[in-house]
Amino acid sequence: MLEQWHTGQVTRIINETYNTRRFWIQIPDMDRFDFKPGQFVTLDLPIHEKKNKRWRSYSIASHPNGSNEIELVIVLLEGGAGTTYLFNEVKEGSELLLRGPLGLFVLPETLDRDLFFVCTGTGIAPFRSMAYYIHEHQIPHKNIYLIYGSRYIKDLLYPTEMQQLQAMLPDFYYIPTLSREDANGWDGRKGYVHTIYEEMLSAEKRPAHFFLCGWKAMIDEAKQRILCMGYDRKDIHLELYG
User: Residue 30 pLDDT > 70, yes or no?
Assistant: yes
Q: pLDDT of 99-154, one tens digit each?
A: 999 999 999 999 999 999 999 999 999 999 999 999 999 999 999 999 999 999 99
User: Residue 240 pLDDT > 90, yes or no?
Assistant: no
User: Residue 33 pLDDT > 60, yes or no?
Assistant: yes
CATH class of 5-102: mainly beta
CATH assignment, 114-241: 3.40.50.80
Whether the CB-CB separation of 82 and 46 falls below 8 Å is answered with no
Q: pLDDT of 43-66, one tens digit each?
A: 999 999 998 899 999 999 999 999
Distances (CA, A) of 211 to 64, 129, 152, 192, 222: 19, 13, 23, 16, 10
Is the Cα dihedral 174, 37, 66, 16 positive or negative?
A: positive
| Mean confidence (pLDDT) of the chain | 95
Q: What is the pLDDT of residue 2?
A: 62
User: Residue 169 pLDDT > 80, yes or no?
Assistant: yes
d(CA 117, CA 214): 11
| pTM score, whole prediction | 0.96
Give me the half-sphere count of Cα atoms (radius 13 Å) on the Cβ side of residue 209.
18
Give me the half-sphere count of Cα atoms (radius 13 Å) on the Cβ side of residue 2.
7
Q: What is the pLDDT of residue 1?
A: 52
Q: What is the pLDDT of residue 242?
A: 59
Q: What is the pLDDT of residue 69?
A: 98
Residue numbers in the known binding site for FAD are 82-83
Residue numbers in the known binding site are 82-83
User: Residue 184 pLDDT > 90, yes or no?
Assistant: no
Distances (CA, A) of 61 to 24, 36, 150: 10, 11, 17
d(CA 15, CA 232): 39
Total residue length of the chain: 242
Region 175-197: what's the mean pLDDT? 91
- How do the domains of the chain map onto residue ranges? 5-102, 114-241
User: Residue 19 pLDDT > 90, yes or no?
Assistant: yes
User: Residue 230 pLDDT > 70, yes or no?
Assistant: yes
More confident residue, 158 or 51: 158
User: Residue 68 pLDDT > 90, yes or no?
Assistant: yes
